[in-house]
Amino acid sequence: MGLDITVLIVDWSWLAEVPERERLSRLENAWDADETGLWDHDAPAVDGDWKWPQGPNSGRFAVYEFLHTLGSYKPHFWATHRWERVRDHADPPVRAGLDSFLLGLIWDGMDGESGRTDVDFFSDDPPGSYGLMIARSPQGVRELVATWEAVRPRLDGLREAFDEHAAVPDGWVRDFDGFARLLAEWGRVLTEAAGRGWGVVGLKA
C-alpha cells in the first residue's frame, strides 16, 4: 500500500469535449502543467484545503489536499479496514449508509464489489497514465452526497462500537475522530463537486 492518491473535482463537460480515450490524459496534462501554479513550491502548503489552478484551465478542476495524509492512499485504505471491523456492530441505517458511501469511493467491499469508477466515461488508462482509482460522474456525486447527508447526523452513534472493535494505539486512522474526520473530508469534496455539477476523480501517483 505505497500508493499516493490525488483527488480532484472536475468539470465533466470539459472532459466530454474530447473522445473517451483522451479524457484522462486531458485531465492529467492539465493537472501536471507548469502554468497551473499547483506546484508553486514558494506557496504555503495547506492541508485540508483546495488548490485551484491558474492558467488556461482555471475553473475546470481543483485538487483537494486531505488533512494529515501527506497525499498517501494508506489512510483511506485503513479507514475501510477499520470499517470492516466495526460495521457488524453499527446500527442498520449507519451500516447501509456507510457501505454505500465507502463503496462509491475507497472501499472494495466485503466481496470486492466496489463501485468507485463510472467506467463508461473513460476508456482504458492510456499509456503513461498515472492511473484511475476513482471516477464518479456528476450524477454519482449527487447520489453520494445524498448518502452522506443521510448518514452524517448518525455517525457519532458509531463512536462506542469503534472504540471497542476498531481503535488501535498507533498507525493510520487510529480512533473514531480520525475516521469521522476523513469521511467528513470526503463529504466536503463531494459537496463542492455537486454544487458545481462536477465529477470527482482520484488519480494514482
Q: What is the pLDDT of residues 2-47, one digit of tens each?
A: 689 999 999 999 999 999 889 998 998 888 887 777 766 555 555 6
pLDDT more than 70, % of the chain: 87
Q: d(Cα 54, Cα 46) in Å, to the nearest integer? A: 17
Share the mean pLDDT of the chain. Answer: 88
Domain residue ranges in the chain: 5-204
Q: d(Cα 159, Cα 179) in Å, to the nearest integer? A: 10
Q: What is the DSSP string of 30-57?
A: HHH-GGG-TT-TTSPP-TTEEE---GGG
pLDDT in tens, 152-193: 999 999 999 999 999 999 999 999 999 999 999 999 999 999
Q: d(Cα 8, Cα 137) in Å, to the nearest integer? A: 12
Check: CB of residue 102 under 8 Å from CB of residue 114. Answer: no
Enter the pTM of the model: 0.91
Neighbouring CB atoms inside 10 A of 104's CB total 24
Check: CB of residue 187 under 8 Å from CB of residue 115. Answer: no
